[in-house]
Amino acid sequence: MKIKCLGAVRTVTGSCFQLDNSSGGLILLDCGLFQGGRQTELRNFNTDLYKPSEVKAVVITHAHMDHSGLVPRLVKAGYRGPVYATVATCELLKILWQDAAHIQSQEAVWKSRKNKRQGQRTVEPLYEEEDALLANTLLSPLPSNQAVEIQPGVFLTLLAAGHILGAASAYLVASCQGRTERILFSGDLGRQGQLLIPDAQIPPESDMIFMETTYGNRRHKDLDTSVDELISVIHQARKSGGKVLIPAFAVERTQEILFLLSTLWHEGKIPRDIPIILDSPLATATSGVYVKNQHLFDQKSRELIRNGFSPLTMSALTVTKSMEDSQKINQIQGSAIIVAGSGMANAGRILHHLKHNLWRDNCHVVFVGFQAQGTTGRRLVDGAEAVKLFRESVVVNAKIHTIGGFSGHADQAELVEWLRPQIHQGLKVVLVHGEESGTVAFQKHLKELFPELETAIPYWREVIEVEGPGLKPEEVPEPEPMMAVSWSQSFQERLERIAAIMADRPVPLGPSELANLENLLNQAEEMILRP
């Protein structure tokens, strides 16, 4: 079987692997949105690369948009085959795809209106709500831990990955030209002992494993330490009269944080007079899927629920129901805990709360998940002195906290412990879904622990053959374009010169100077990327 890497290689976004066993059509393992900077997101429009007319089946490991969000685009291009996933994942996707389509359409209208004023052409949305609705009809829920023939000679088993509700590792056994090949895609692997979701299963023996490495170069704090840190942040904010802003992914992280805040509130470990606000219609809708699927929670969480515990029993909790409710939050005087989407602060209602509070020195921003390169969240975590929100530069005086113990991804040690029992002679491990520095560090760590283990880190569009002499590309991809257009040599040289000057500058630029520079670069980028 040949596997083409169409995303989540040397990056954490756009997960997609195209499987070709030469006995029929193609199978896509995940079909996710590229998220981050504009250059990266332009890949979402390159639908031809996925060969939708040749794809016979799509398998989705879990509902996060970087693994599933491009399916409606594939449907828009004519795909009408099945979309396989666990029951819970299918339920979540029906909500998430519709929400994403609504956002895509709104953004297209806004950009088209802007372009029209400038004499430019209108902008086409990536996909629309009718595409999402049609994609919903293609969902084919599968039971966990049961081999199902999804194409002639190709059997799929979905195994619990411990990441979010319904998340799975995909184990495929394929008959190909008289051979049997066993391929495992880890999907996103969760932490051991995390809130709500049971630990990942250990899969059966494989010939090749495509393994995520999101945190391949670091160790998380333990959960107890992370909880203590969150409690401390909340008390600091309460004392100074500031807000606690928690950008949270609508699926899993929001539900975990609410569950935790409710526990702390009931136990009196956080002030009972501080309002807790959930400002995310999408998170509210997906929480209903969680309530419906409580049987998938871990034993401790199920016992608490059986004893009558529920995050919704907090008198301090307010769930916004309209945009007007969201806007009223910024009129609250004093402290409040605001949980809002999106998790990387690259869209959604959290941006409004950041705009109203980042410049305040008594504000605390708590990141509880991975922040991809190119997102507002990543810039804040990396120490930006100012960020651009709604075309306005906002100075960062707030205190920024990254609490890794709430991450939904396994850290370096947990990744190793998941892999260790699967290692055998002849196993090949392809390291994916991680920024290059983290993936390279994890590869080096594996080499130290298991010198005989064969590993590789593919590039975008690289093709790997399962039954080959080793983990080497079957074809060398073209260099990945940095932009959608060609840069002039002189302009490229000037950019490099500016970067070199800034690196050697003895006195760093101040917030206002950086903001001016960022505005100029944003204007240049918009001009270059304008359709």
DSSP 329: G
Tokens of 205: 């023996």
Residue 512's pLDDT is what?
Answer: 57
Select from 455, 459, 438 the least CA-distant residue to 446: 455
Residue 118's pLDDT is what?
Answer: 79
pLDDT at 60 over 50: yes
- Positions of E strands within 153-263: 154-160, 168-176, 179-185, 208-212, 243-247
Mean pLDDT, rounded, for 211-223: 94
- Positions of E strands within 254-313: 276-279
Q: Which residue has the higher pLDDT, 312 or 396?
A: 396
Residue 107's pLDDT is what?
Answer: 83
pLDDT at 13 over 80: yes
pTM for the complete prediction? Answer: 0.84
- Please state, rounded to an integer, the average pLDDT across all residues of the chain: 88
Residue 484's pLDDT is what?
Answer: 30
Q: What is the pLDDT of residues 225-262, one digit of tens each?
A: 999 999 999 999 999 999 999 999 899 999 999 999 99
Per-residue burial over 251-277, b = 16 or more CB atoms within 10 Å of its CB, e = otherwise: bbbbbbbbbbbbbbbeeeebbeebebb
Residue 530's pLDDT is what?
Answer: 42
Residue 31's pLDDT is what?
Answer: 98
Q: What is the pLDDT of residues 259-306, one digit of tens each?
A: 999 999 989 999 999 999 999 999 999 999 998 999 999 998 998 888
Q: What is the pLDDT of residues 63-110, one digit of tens each?
A: 999 999 999 999 999 999 999 999 999 999 999 999 999 988 988 888
The pairing of strands 243-247 and 364-367 is parallel
- Taking the C-alpha atoms of residue 440 and residue 434, their distance in angstroms, rounded to an integer, is 9
Tokens of 3: 């596997």
- Taking the C-alpha atoms of residue 233 and residue 363, their distance in angstroms, rounded to an integer, is 10
Select from 92, 106, 86, 102 the least CA-distant residue to 136: 92
Q: Which residue is it, tokens 């093709």?
A: 463
Angle in degrees, CA 43, 49, 53, rounded to 5: 130
Q: Which residues pair with 394 in a beta bridge?
A: 387
Mean pLDDT, rounded, for 114-128: 85
- Taking the C-alpha atoms of residue 298 and residue 457, their distance in angstroms, rounded to an integer, is 34
Residue 472's pLDDT is what?
Answer: 55
With cut-offs at 50, 70 and 90, classify the pLDDT of residue 486.
Answer: very low
- Taking the C-alpha atoms of residue 522 and residue 527, their distance in angstroms, rounded to an integer, is 9
Q: What is the pLDDT of residues 336-384, one digit of tens each?
A: 999 998 889 988 899 999 999 999 999 999 999 888 888 899 999 999 9
Q: Which residues pair with 278 in a beta bridge?
A: 319, 339
Residue 479's pLDDT is what?
Answer: 43
Tokens of 456: 């590789």
pLDDT at 485 over 50: no
- Taking the C-alpha atoms of residue 361 and residue 128, their distance in angstroms, rounded to an integer, is 41
Among 49-63, 196-210, 490-504, the range scoring the smallest mean pLDDT is 490-504
Tokens of 439: 């993936």
Q: Which residues pair with 55 in a beta bridge?
A: 26
DSSP 164: S
pLDDT at 490 over 50: no
Could you give the dihedral angle defined by the CA atoms of residues 479, 428, 8 and 47, in that order, rounded to the nearest 10 degrees? 70
Residue 521's pLDDT is what?
Answer: 66
Residue 160's pLDDT is what?
Answer: 97
Q: What is the pLDDT of residues 494-524, one digit of tens each?
A: 555 565 555 555 555 665 566 566 656 655 6
Mean pLDDT, rounded, for 119-142: 93
Residues sharing a CB contact under 8 Å with residue 414, sequence separation 6 or more, in sequence order: 189, 191, 192
Could you give the dihedral angle defined by the CA atoms of residues 434, 438, 439 and 442, in that order, rounded to the nearest 10 degrees? -130
Does the bond joining 342 to the residue before it have cis omega, within 30 degrees of 0? yes
Half-sphere exposure of 14 (CA within 13 A, CB side): 26
Residues sharing a CB contact under 8 Å with residue 283, sequence separation 6 or more, in sequence order: 248, 250, 251, 254, 255, 339, 341
Residue 507's pLDDT is what?
Answer: 52
Q: What is the pLDDT of residues 412-426, one digit of tens each?
A: 999 999 999 999 999
**What share of the chain in percent tops pLDDT 90?**
69
Mean pLDDT, rounded, for 150-169: 96
Q: Which residue is it, tokens 């605390």?
A: 364
Residue 101's pLDDT is what?
Answer: 95
